[in-house]
Amino acid sequence: MESSILVNQLIVVGRRKNYTVNFNPGVNIIYGDSNTGKSTIVNLIDYLLGAKNFNLYPEIDAAARYAALDVTLNEDRYTIKRDLFNPNALIEVYTCPFDKVEQYSCRKYLPNFQKPSGSDDSGYFSDFLLDALNLPNIKLKESPSKDDSKLARLSFRDLFKYCYVDQDNLGDKRFFNPENWAVATKNKEVFKYIFNALDSHISEIQNQISEKTKQKNKLVDTYSTVSDFLRESEFASMVSLDAEIENIDSDIENLNMQILELNQRQIADTEVYNTIRSELNKISLEKRALTLLMREQETKIERFTRLKNDYLNDINKFMATLSAMNGIGEVNQQIEICPVCDNTLNVEIARERFDVANEEKISHEINALKRRARETESIAHETKRLWELNKVKLAELELAETNAIHLQEMNTKELSSPYLAERDMYVSKLGELQQKRKDIVSKLKVRNQHSTLNKSINSLETKITQLQEQLAELSKNTPSLSNVLSDLADNLRDYLIAVKIKSPTGIKFNEQTFLPQVRDIDYARITSGGLRTIVGVGYLCSLMQEALNRTMNFPSFLMIDTVGKYLGKTKDQKYAPDSTDTAADSMEAVSDPNKYQNMFEYIIKLSEMYENQNKTCQFILVDNDVPDHIVDKLSGFIIAHFSSERVNGLPVGFIDDADLM
Amino acid sequence: MLPFISPDDNFHLNLGIVLIVTQTLGESSRGALKLNNERLHIYTYLVKNPVKLNLFLNVLGKGSALISPKDAYSVTSISSNVDPLFDRRNLKALITTLVGESLISVIYKKKDGFFYKLSDSGLEKANQLNTEYFYEVRLLCDTLKSTLSSSTSSLNKALNQVMQKEIISDGK
């Protein structure tokens, strides 16, 4: 029975944009400087496949909203969506590629076994994955040697340990051989499970078949009920819904175009409006200047008119003076004595206090005043004339102003109001269409859900068939674990010879621990960290290779973080030197770049074998740097390459705009 | 000395004005003497400032004088010179001259003091003053006849009010 996990795309939905990495079937290589988010990518995949938690990197923390994984499990495409900040939030699964998510409704799963399932109608994410991969969902004995042992649920995570090695575990002595006895026992049980070597396997498969058949029948019922309902309620078909959405989309585009055009026209109208306004401003400025000038002229007229009147009054007074001089005549210059008090009445005093002028001088003054009166008169007259002219000008300006204001009103009324009405119309239409689109999309969700039911039925049928085949095969020849181990040892030997380690002898699998031995030394006792890395990768590869030939409960997926660990080629020696015996490393010559290259070539060959058998597999390999001389050979497999210095325009990391925040 | 001569300060013009004021306002219609220093001073000031005269009559409720637009609409009419009101020496000099020329007689009335009236030669001379300006002065004096029955203190009060109005309106 073949199972496969094929990651198509990893998406981190960010606030500003989405960060994506695309994956291919077969080998995928991610490399780049440390701290550029390589491990983030594999950690995210791990997290989206149900890991307990996810270490938030600052860049992700700042930029991301949630993560999604577009993945093909066996034949079916799924999108898994998970909250990055709350690992206990329900995981959403859509039965469609990521870009169609909005048209499908999702199922929600509990990320772990902590809460009882069914509490809010959601099952366990692990069950979903096992189911989707058509792997038997069983319980394992905690103490395999006892018949009445407690049973523990097999989780997808137990299995996934064989599919993903992070950079801490790879090459570690405790890799697959934890000091915790319970975990070690479980690992062994899982190993047996992978190779269908569990005692209870046949009965488990029978259970599985009956379970799945039950499920299928239930689904068939549901499907036909829903079909009837949809038919009776004259629910639009998927095809017509799709067509309708397409129509609405083109209508929306048209409307947007029209609104854009309208906006452009309004800009042109605004130009006219601005011209009128500047003209109005000019007119009002001129008007003010003119009014000011006219007021000055009015003052001038008043002043000169008054002055003229003064002159005329003065002329009259001088005329009167002349008359008085004639009438009264010269005044005697004598001194009288008051008959009562003997004071002198001095007439001369009066002469000192008043002007005494002769006739000639007064006549001269009268003439001068007459002339001045005429002059002031003519100035006042001229000013009056100018004022009249200005008055006409002012009237003209006022007319122009009235016209301009009228024009402005016309412009606003005749041009803007219909524009606004038109725009309102478009906008409301647009709103209607968008609402309608939403309605149809939700209808489409119903349809999609319905067809998903059908798909599930089909996939259940396939799974049942597969299980039946497996059952038949198992009942024919139950695999013996020693056969399995010897086959695995053959695979490992092929690999170690291909990698060209020194003296590839004594290669077998320990019958107790199910772990590899080289030169009859248990994996955990190998002193060279580099060799442990090579053997560890080989161990996992031998499982991958075995899955080609044998019916296994293994999803043909391998994700290795820092393939070159302890191989002495990594720029950044961040691993504690006591984890590896450097002397042993140099003895083994693990830093020989050829060995590294051989490992890659072996993996590539393995994926080609899958391809030749028309089977699906996926390797995701992460490393700090790939030596230059093999980059060319591997270039076809590199899916992401980061450079913290942005060398050659390479992205700075997975979150490629972190430095812009 | 200013380069032009002011007609208002001309000696003969002012003699003529005082003659006409004394002629017109010297006696009431019943022949009672009315013109003492104070009244003569007020009346002379008013006929030389027709706009003030108009206001003065308004305040006293004695109607208004017909003043020519030339007087009303002039620079003088919007400026006010109150100095002559507080200086009676000019007027006394004029009276001295006219008394010396025997054109005005001074009459002492028991209790009421000295009054002025035209002498016969004064009347003759006054009747010779017939230019347009003196004609106007006569008209103005005629309008003042109605105030002869008012006491000098009420005239002073009215004049004060006119001046205050002027000040208030100037201060605007």
Structural domain boundaries in chain B:
7-171
Any CB–CB contact under 8 A between A399 and chain B?
no
What gap in Å lies between CA B92 and CA B25, rounded to an integer? 18
Any CB–CB contact under 8 A between A349 and chain B?
yes
Nearest chain B residue to A315 by CA: give it: B7
Task: Say if the Cβ atoms of A328 and B78 lie within 8 Å.
Answer: no
Tally of domains within chain A: 2
Work out the number of other CB atoms within 10 angstroms of the CB of residue B145.
14
Distance (Å) of CA A339 to CA A343, A360, B36, B96, B106: 8, 38, 19, 13, 12
Per the listing, tokens 């396997």 go with A201
The residues near A575 (Cβ < 8 Å, ≥ 6 apart) are: A529, A565, A566
What gap in Å lies between CA B127 and CA A197, rounded to an integer? 161
Mutation target to probe the B interface, by most B beta carbons within 10 A, among A310, A317, A356 is A317
Extract the residue ranges of chain A whose pLDDT is less than 50. 570-576, 661
The residues near B163 (Cβ < 8 Å, ≥ 6 apart) are: B80, B82, B85
pLDDT digits (tens, 9 = 90+) for A6-59: 999 999 888 778 888 899 898 888 888 777 778 888 889 999 998 888 877 767
Residue A89 in tokens: 């939030």
- Whether the CB-CB separation of A317 and B10 falls below 8 Å is answered with yes
Distance (Å) of CA A650 to CA A20, A33, A42, A382, A631: 15, 11, 20, 86, 15
- Domain contains A53: yes
> Buried b vs exposed e over A515-546: b needs ≥16 C-beta within 10 Å?
bbbbeeeebbebbbbbbbbbbbbbbbbbbbbb
Task: Say if the Cβ atoms of B132 and A328 lie within 8 Å.
Answer: no
Task: Say if the Cβ atoms of B13 and A317 lie within 8 Å.
Answer: yes
Task: Say if the Cβ atoms of A365 and B14 lie within 8 Å.
Answer: no
The per-residue pLDDT for B41 is 92
Task: Say if the Cβ atoms of A305 and B75 lie within 8 Å.
Answer: no
Any CB–CB contact under 8 A between A328 and chain B?
yes
The per-residue pLDDT for A658 is 56
Residues A284 and A374 in one domain: yes
Please report which helix (H) or strand (E) contains residue B91, including its range.
helix B89-100
Q: Which SS3 state, helix, strand or coil, does residue A470 take?
A: helix
Residue A399 in tokens: 């007319």
Which residue from A316, A321, A347 is facing B12, i.e. has the nearest CB?
A: A321
- Whether the CB-CB separation of B74 and A306 falls below 8 Å is answered with yes
What gap in Å lies between CA A339 and CA A619, rounded to an integer? 151
Nearest chain B residue to A343 by CA: give it: B96
Any CB–CB contact under 8 A between B24 and chain A?
no
Residues A414 and A488 in one domain: no
The per-residue pLDDT for A574 is 47
pLDDT digits (tens, 9 = 90+) for B32-71: 888 988 999 999 999 998 888 888 998 888 877 777 777 7
Any CB–CB contact under 8 A between B14 and chain A?
yes
Which residue from A317, A324, A332 is facing B100, i.e. has the nearest CB?
A: A332
Mutation target to probe the B interface, by most B beta carbons within 10 A, among A322, A344, A353, A362 is A353
- Domain contains A189: yes
Domain that holds residue A82: 5-197+479-660
Q: Which residues of A touch B73 (CB under 8 A)?
A: 305-306, 309
The residues near A393 (Cβ < 8 Å, ≥ 6 apart) are: A290
| CA-wise closest residue to A3 among A547, A453, A636 | A547
Task: Say if the Cβ atoms of A327 and B129 lie within 8 Å.
Answer: yes
Minimum distance, in Å, between the CA of residue A317 and any CA atom of chain B:
6
The per-residue pLDDT for A340 is 67
Minimum distance, in Å, between the CA of residue B131 and any CA atom of chain A:
6
- Whether the CB-CB separation of A39 and A19 falls below 8 Å is answered with no
Task: Say if the Cβ atoms of A327 and B16 lie within 8 Å.
Answer: yes
Residues A494 and A351 in one domain: no
Per the listing, tokens 């998510």 go with A101
**Long-range pairs, A642-649, Cβ under 8 A, ≥24:** A642/A31, A642/A32, A642/A33, A642/A36, A642/A37, A642/A38, A643/A32, A643/A33, A643/A36, A644/A32, A644/A33, A644/A34, A644/A35, A644/A36, A645/A33
Task: Say if the Cβ atoms of A313 and B101 lie within 8 Å.
Answer: no
Looking at A394, A420, A446, the residue that finishes a domain is: A420
Looking at A390, A420, A450, the residue that finishes a domain is: A420
Which residue from B9, B128, B132 is facing A355, i.e. has the nearest CB?
A: B9
CATH number of the domain residue A391 falls in: 1.10.287
Please report which helix (H) or strand (E) contains residue A302, including its range.
helix A238-328
Q: Which residues of A touch B75 (CB under 8 A)?
A: 303, 306-307, 309-310
Mutation target to probe the A interface, by most A beta carbons within 10 A, among B6, B9, B13, B67 is B13
What gap in Å lies between CA A573 and CA A625, rounded to an integer? 12
Task: Say if the Cβ atoms of B128 and A326 lie within 8 Å.
Answer: yes
The crossing angle, in degrees rounded to 10, of helices B152-171 and B50-60 is 120
Nearest chain B residue to A350 by CA: give it: B93
> Average of pLDDT values for B143-168?
85
Mutation target to probe the B interface, by most B beta carbons within 10 A, among A315, A316, A337 is A316
- Whether the CB-CB separation of A324 and B17 falls below 8 Å is answered with no
- Domain contains A235: no
CATH number of the domain residue A499 falls in: 3.40.50.300
CA dihedral A68, A72, A73, A75 (to 10 degrees): 150
pLDDT higher than 50, residue B95: yes
Any CB–CB contact under 8 A between B18 and chain A?
no
The per-residue pLDDT for A385 is 92
The per-residue pLDDT for A522 is 84
Any CB–CB contact under 8 A between A363 and chain B?
no
Task: Say if the Cβ atoms of A326 and B103 lie within 8 Å.
Answer: no
The crossing angle, in degrees rounded to 10, of helices A529-549 and A481-499 is 120
pLDDT higher than 50, residue B27: yes
Looking at A380, A404, A420, the residue that finishes a domain is: A420
Q: Which residues of B touch A317 (CB under 8 A)?
A: 7-8, 10, 13, 133
What gap in Å lies between CA A294 and CA A386, rounded to an integer? 9
Task: Say if the Cβ atoms of B101 and A328 lie within 8 Å.
Answer: yes
Residue A20 in tokens: 């994506």
Query: How large is the ipTM?
Result: 0.87
The per-residue pLDDT for A524 is 81
Residues A392 and A270 in one domain: yes
Task: Say if the Cβ atoms of B78 and A306 lie within 8 Å.
Answer: yes
- Domain contains A474: no
Any CB–CB contact under 8 A between B19 and chain A?
yes
- Domain contains A513: yes
DSSP letters spanning A334-358 = -EEE-TTT--EEETHHHHHHSB---
Minimum distance, in Å, between the CA of residue A354 and any CA atom of chain B:
5
Which residue from B74, B76, B134 is facing A323, i.e. has the nearest CB?
A: B134
Please count the residue pairs, one from chain A and one from chain B, whose beta carbons lie less than 8 angstroms apart: 129
